[in-house]
Structure 1
Amino acid sequence: MGTKVVRNVVVFILIVILSGWIGVLVDSALTEQPKGDSAGMGIWLVSPMLAAIAITLFSKSSWKDLGFNPNFKGNIKWYFIAALVFPVVTAIVLIIGVITNWIDLSSFDFGPLVLVFSGTLLFNFIKNIFDGTPLFSYLTPRLVKLNFNDWKIYLTVGGVWGIWHIPYFLVFLPETDIQAVLPASRAVISIFMIITLILWSVMFIELYRVTQSIWPGVVLHMVEDSLINPLVISGFISITAGKEILISPIIGIITSILYLLVGLGIRNYRRQANQKVIS
């Protein structure tokens, strides 16, 4: 059993890491590919989920671990928490930014932001069934079976999630979006984003583990993409030059620490709940 799990984990990780570069090769062979919406980017996005489903099918593993069941019973609160995490943390970050004069809200307009937010929810819900979800739902329970402790799971899953994004940051993502997040090279952005995604992954992993469902994590990611990305990239806020790495709602150190604390809080709840079940 252990050898089979190790084999499947290695195959899955290799497919995940290579999928983006396969997409890059596809785009290089095709002409007039739209930036940020290419065939290669589509391959990159859907390959991890397809790999998880295919490996589960061919290895005759349990479909339960993929977490497609919403498990509403006893978990509705986690859906609400997932919907509120990014708005609440973002509000805290904006308050800190205004107090320190690191964030300028003079361009902030709540009405248009609400329109952008609501108008992108459905698209981001569908997209985020694929973005990172198979890592939390397929990879996490298999690392648990291999007796990885929580910290090794966070580092492994978060690291693979970050490495999977490298083609996105180096190739797929338009340069204007890169510069709006952090005025630096794509390589530097990639390094910072890998670290950011490892810290963020704790929330997603723990939401999956506490609910045994992918859907709270999909809701969490949907709200993130619909809120903080346009907030920064579309210019609703301005961040003082040089302070982006500290306070940016996307990549800021303060922001990432807050999300890490949220994830660790969910972890603490899960561990206490498991202890009650055991006792």
Structure 2
Amino acid sequence: MAVIIFFLLFSSIFLNTEAIDKNCPPAKCFPNGPEILFPFSIKGLQPQNCSHPGFKLLCKENKTTIHFPSYGDLVVKSISYDSKRLSLLDPENCVHQVFLNLDLSRTPFRYYYTLKNYTYLNCSAPLPRPFVQVPCMSGSEYHVYVVASFGVVPDSCKPVKTVAIPFSYSPYLADDSFGLGITWDVTRREDFVTCFSAARGKVLSILVFIFMVATLVSVKTYCSRSAWFEKLCGYYYATLKRVKFSPREARNQGKTSVGYGNHGSEFRSMLPK
């Protein structure tokens, strides 16, 4: 019975796998945009159950975007489903502003590249080389630097925040050339369960109910048979104890069989010589 239950379970999974292509077709925000598949979905273009929580994408101004509560909208540049890499761009072209404020700890994502601790410094006066200020975060009266390590903080600077980010600022590295690379840890099986949680949940509930009923029936049948055999053996044992033979009768009755007919009637029959 257990084999049958598991067979039905896996059959339902395979049937649901075939339904993925029908219920969750690929989509794009614009012709040249990235193709959106599991575990992502585009709000308004694909069913709501076709994505994992936190993987909803939006179409805005011919761009594919993803929203992070800690920062805002970022543009989806490309998605590699094999390597699970999501390349993002900041609409303001200030990737280190994103690094400073983006909090991935409450999302299903993490940075794709190796991280290192960097400290943001806000200085009222420019620092000498080799320090290079971040132009998109600096102004005429304040200068922001991202440094890996420092000894004594200059009097004109105040530490803003230390964060684990992939790289420091470099004037030779454009924001859109390196991009914001993040990845996700959701496995394909989890994606599948999320997409069909409602449908598969009903199937699993039915299968669990069938399994419980089958188990109860099997246990009841086994107990009934066990009780019947125990009762039968006790009956014959008690009957044999009541039958007593003398040694001479035992020798003479060696060829006689004792049994019971219908309704418990006793009979004896001679075995053939």
Q: TM-score range by the shorter chain?
A: under 0.3
The structure with the larger Rg is: 2
- State the TM-score, normalizing by the size of structure 1: 0.21
TM-score under structure 2 length normalisation: 0.21
